Structure 1
Amino acid sequence: MMNNLIHLTFYDTSYRNIVRFMTDVPSSKFSSSTLLTLNIKAHNFDDFLYILDGRFNNLQSLYIDLIKICFSSKQIKNQGKIPNLKCFNLSCFLETWNYNTLIVPLLHRMLNLEKLGLYIMTYVKERFIDGNSLKEDILHHLTKIKHFDFDIYSYIYMKNQLNFPSKEDIQQTFKDFPCTKVISCVDYIHKRKQAQCHVYSYPFLMEFYEQITNNFPGGFYPYVRIVSLYDEHPFEHEFFLQISLAFPLMGRLTLFNYCSQNVKQSIDINQNFEIIRYYHLIELDIRQCHDDYTEEFLLHTKTYLHNSISLDIDLESLARITQNFTRNETRINCSKVNELFLYGESENLIQSLQNYFPFAEID
């Protein structure tokens, strides 16, 4: 029992330190009738349901960050209405298949909810989550909601479908939606046989912006710290400039793209690329990409990197672009690396690597 407790934060930036209610915190030992606000990172949906099983019967605000949302065999009692909850934020680290079967029914229990935040990635069978589905599944049931922030990715496996909605079709469903602004983005990734739709309220409040393609709608995202880029079409230099301006405080960048750039810097032709400056970038993962992107980030005439960079990179690509660790044009940015994670056999290159990355701890 926690007598007189009003606010509680059980949260860690690492997913390694998380609460497991089913095993760590039995109901009889972890409850409170005075707790009003709870901010917690938990493991799965069962842990979440335990929080709402009556142990915190006067809870008004709940912020929960889960690793996964999936079914289990656990029988959790007391899954009735939750009339006292006024503010609810749900985010999940991994994709789920259970938006309609777990998340929507849970929200319907929160009769008096006034403020909702929903930040998830989910697979759906036939229909993207758009403005119409959010109104039908959520807003028509929770009539007291005054503020709704969301960041939702929905994925459909492309089988025999021929007619998927366009970005304009999705955006039209948010006409008269009770948010100041909603941004939509639709992509079709043929190698994965996957269609994806990303809809979010703007201004964007999350620290993550994942799977950005060339269809990135632009905007300004001062809260985002972690970005990943993926496409089956090339990212040109101007695209990276757009990314650097949209995410000024980006600290981690991951790139997936094996398509060669169309516009490249040539030694023989004096091309004036604007230097892209990443003032806050401290982690760069370019191990799964074409050599052009290795060069994009290592050439000091194209990219400015801050000191103390952690770099994940494919060794063969690195050797090619640095001309076996002799190229002067890539030496400046390589000297700013303090952690180097190589993918490939490097045993015979240790001395060359240490000379070229003089301040790096090499793994």
Structure 2
Amino acid sequence: MIMQLYLHIFTTFTNLQYLNFGPSLLYHQRLSFSTSPLTIISTNLLNLHVYLENFNDCLYLLDGRFNQLYTLSANISFICASPLTINNKEKIPTLKCFSLHCDIETCVYDELILPLLHRMLNLEKLSLCLIVGDRKTFFDGNDLKINIINNMSRLNIFTFNIRSSSRFYNQINLPSNENIQNTFRADEKGHCHIYSYPYKLNYYDGITNNFPGGIFKYVRKVSLFDEHPFEHEFFLRIAQSFPLMEKLSVRNEQRQINKQFRQSKNENQDLSIIKYPYLKELDLIHSCIDYHAQFLLDMLM
């Protein structure tokens, strides 16, 4: 049904220049051309915002059928290898703005995404929001400079939010703190998170004790996870960094060390009250009892 609607739009509005084709309020359907190949050709469409099922669907849109396309914003469900052979080599000279967003981890960034970006030789604005797994190296500033920025001489605006993981992690080949915002180790993997600033997404996931702080005024949803305990000072930093936070999820099974130390010494000094003035939802299902007490006794909502 969604494909028929998409086709009907182009056949009805033959001079269409701008199209924002996102999921409806009732259905989270995405476009997919794997079963119904796209037959539309338009020389008028300039600006397209679309939700797609997979990466091949994005390649279909950039195979030349929209040869005047200036802006493409693609939110893709998953990015993975495919047995289908789709052109991912010809240059795309008209495209000036490109946004790629995917919330599911991909292991084919270097094989699929990077070659696509290298086709966009006249790109002026680029936005990437990705989770990349099992690379030999983490993403850092040098990686982005060598593989993206140096290949796009006209690029003026580059925003990114990239999480990467590697099983080849070790302390020797870690990027410097100047190039990464958050690095930690879990599940025998190394994890790294880099992002452009100011951070404009409305969520920030997977925050650990290594979180450096800052002010994130656009963020409304936050999730915390670590294999080491979160102490009172950490939650104070979270409250200060996300002043408009509405949803908070805490995942940590480790007892708070500082709290146990104070109790063993019979120290009863009052800790500063942490305020979360806009918090509406709090998830402590996957956390130990110390964090229940933390939010019941040491905070204001």
TM-score class, shorter-chain normalisation, is 0.7 to 0.9
Alignment of 1:83 onto 2:93: yes
- Please state whether the residue corresponding to 1:43 is helix, strand or coil: strand
1:165 is matched with 174
1:74 is displaced (CA, Å) by 2.6
Of 136, 154, 159, the match for 1:144? 154
- Please state whether the residue corresponding to 1:245 is helix, strand or coil: helix
1:64 is displaced (CA, Å) by 1.5
Of 184, 197, 200, the match for 1:202? 197
Q: Does the CA contact (< 8 Å) of 1:54 and 1:78 recur in 2?
A: no
Map 1:4-153 to 2 at 5 A: 4-12=15-23, 17-22=28-33, 26-28=37-39, 30-76=40-86, 80-153=90-163
Give the AA of the match of 2:292.
T
Give the AA of the match of 1:275.
I
1:178-223 CA-partner distances (Å, limit 9, x unpaired) = xxxxx5322122xx00111211111112222121111101111111
Q: Closer, same or farther in 2 for the Cα pair 1:146/1:256, shift >3 Å?
A: same
Counterpart Cα distance in 1 of 2:26 and 2:120: 27
1:14 is displaced (CA, Å) by 7.6
Counterpart Cα distance in 2 of 1:154 and 1:251: 26
1:97 is displaced (CA, Å) by 0.4
Task: Figure out how many residues of one structure are paired with residues of the other and give that number.
Answer: 286
Map 1:246-265 to 2 at 5 A: 246-264=241-259
Q: Closer, same or farther in 2 for the Cα pair 1:112/1:94, shift >3 Å?
A: same
1:277 is matched with 275
1:95 is displaced (CA, Å) by 0.9
1:112 is displaced (CA, Å) by 0.4
1:216 is matched with 211
1:246-286 CA-partner distances (Å, limit 9, x unpaired) = 112222222211111123387x8644232222233233221
1:16 is displaced (CA, Å) by 5.5
1:303 is matched with 299
Q: Closer, same or farther in 2 for the Cα pair 1:225/1:25, shift >3 Å?
A: farther
Counterpart Cα distance in 1 of 2:256 and 2:144: 38
2:238 is matched with 243
1:158 is displaced (CA, Å) by 4.7
Give the AA of the match of 2:32.
F
Q: Closer, same or farther in 2 for the Cα pair 1:78/1:165, shift >3 Å?
A: closer
Q: Does the CA contact (< 8 Å) of 2:105 and 2:133 recur in 1?
A: yes
Q: Does the CA contact (< 8 Å) of 2:135 and 2:164 recur in 1?
A: no
Give the AA of the match of 1:4.
N
Q: Closer, same or farther in 2 for the Cα pair 1:24/1:225, shift >3 Å?
A: farther
TM-score, normalising length from structure 1?
0.72
Counterpart Cα distance in 1 of 2:213 and 2:87: 46
TM-score, normalising length from structure 2?
0.86
Give the AA of the match of 1:185.
N
1:24 is displaced (CA, Å) by 7.8
Give the AA of the match of 2:254.
C
Counterpart Cα distance in 1 of 2:208 and 2:45: 43
Q: Does the CA contact (< 8 Å) of 2:59 and 2:88 recur in 1?
A: no
Q: Which runs of 4+ in 1 moved over 6 A?
A: none
1:13 is displaced (CA, Å) by 8.5
Of 183, 188, 205, the match for 1:186? 183
Give the AA of the match of 1:284.
L
Q: Closer, same or farther in 2 for the Cα pair 1:205/1:162, shift >3 Å?
A: closer
| More relative contact order, 1 or 2 (CA 8 Å, 6+ apart) | 2
1:84 is displaced (CA, Å) by 0.6
Counterpart Cα distance in 2 of 1:77 and 1:102: 11
Unaligned runs of at least 5 residues, structure 2: 1-9
